[in-house]
Amino acid sequence: MYPCGNCRAAAVGPDGRCAACGAYQQQAAGTAPGPAPAYPYAPAMPAAPMPVGGVDLRRGLRIALMIALGVSTAVLLFVFWTDTQTRVAIQDMLDNGVTSTTEQDLQDTDAAATIAGVLNFVTLAASAALWAVWFRRARINAEFFAPGSHRFGIGWAAGAWFTPVVNFWFPKQIVNDIYKASVLPGARAPKGLLNAWWTLWTASGVCAMVSSVLSAAAGARIAAKGYDGSSWREDVEALKNAANVSAFSTLLLIAAGVLALLVVRQLGGLQEQRATAGPAAAPGMPDMPGAPVHPGAPYGAPGYAPGQQQPGGPAAGWPHPPQNPYGSGPAGY
């Protein structure tokens, strides 16, 4: 045991993990007495960037992500206000006709909507980047809790969110596996919050696409006909409908943002609890040979030998096919 470089507690074992705060001393393996622990699944997945010695319980990334989600949700409230102002301006045009006043109102609301759109893009991009990194880390941790039980490789934990079409169901399958692996043995994964967040998230995306199609179609007709055609009112009404759908999509996204923040908090708590329970609590997992593992010992704590292979593990005829962390789909797909 030697002092932690993060919390200064004398709680760092030979694997380099601090049992007090969960931080890893990346140079500990070279400076601490005794041999450096080997990555337990190196023979099967040498390219997998697993954390040294056990699960990664550092909270900095999680806190940063929660802050980013909060800021992004606040910006979405501004976006919803601009959507409301746009609908009011369009309704005024329908009631009073095309006048200099109604045109000026539309230009003002369009300028406000542009500012809101830029802010929304910046905050959503920051949140998405942090989310991808955090989600991948959660997937890596889940591999330690339940090796070989996941349907997708580690690379998909980040890539699935940005792959068209499959991003409507691959991420949900991945997070389902993470939740299942992160709960205590014998406990059921809490899916209510997770399912509510995913439903709102996907519904918001569908509504946003519908709004974009309606707005583009109405805008193209108005640009082609001008304001002198007999159907201008119907075209402007279509713009209003697009604004209504856009406002509804924003409301759904606001709710999804709040639930996403709660999902990050919940999953982080589940993984901390699961890691504290120790590897001996895993159902059907025999004790690691070579070092005594006491029930309740956290991953990476003294007595946990992450470099030892389990009987029947990846290096000894593991029944599950190894997953390529940068593969193109589920193992064996």
pLDDT band at 40; cut points 50, 70, 90: very low
Lowest mean pLDDT among 63-67, 171-175, 186-190: 186-190
Cα dihedral sign for 98, 101, 107, 111? negative
Confidence of residue 54 (pLDDT cuts 50, 70, 90): low
Q: Look at residues 209, 184, 173 and name the one whose alpha carbon lies nearest to residue 270.
A: 184
Instruction: Tell me how far CA of residue 7 lies from CA of 19, 23, 133, 190, in angstroms.
Output: 10, 8, 23, 31
Is residue 310's pLDDT more than 80? no
Instruction: Give the C-alpha separation, 24 to 57, whole Å.
Output: 9
> Distance between CA atoms of 286 and 284, rounded to whole angstroms?
6
Q: Do residues 131 and 161 make contact, with C-beta atoms less than 8 angstroms apart?
A: yes
Q: Residues with Cβ < 8 Å from 42, sequence gap 6 or more?
A: none
Round to whole Å and give the CA distance between 303 and 307: 12
The position carrying tokens 């409507």 is 168
Count CA atoms closer than 13 A to 97's CA, side-chain side.
3
Helix pair angle (170-182, 100-145), 10° resolution: 40
pLDDT of residue 67: 95
pTM passes above 0.85: no
Pairwise pLDDT comparison (302 vs 73), residue with the higher score: 73
Can you list the positions of beta strands (E) in 268-332? Answer: none
* pLDDT for res 5: 58
Give the residue among 58, 59, 51 at the shortest CA–CA distance from 15: 51
Residues 26/17/152/333 CA torsion (nearest 10 deg): 70
Q: Which residues pair with 65 in a beta bridge?
A: none
Q: How confident is the model at residue 87, as a pLDDT? A: 85
End-to-end CA distance of the chain: 44
Over residues 138-175, the pLDDT tens digits come to 999 888 888 888 888 888 888 888 888 888 889 999 99
The residues facing 152 across adjacent strands are 330
3-state secondary structure of 2: strand
* Predicted confidence (pLDDT) at residue 297 exceeds the cutoff of 60: no
Mapped onto helix, strand or coil, the DSSP state of residue 10 is coil
Computed from CA positions of residues 82, 83, 88, 94, in that sequence, does the dihedral angle turn out positive or negative? positive
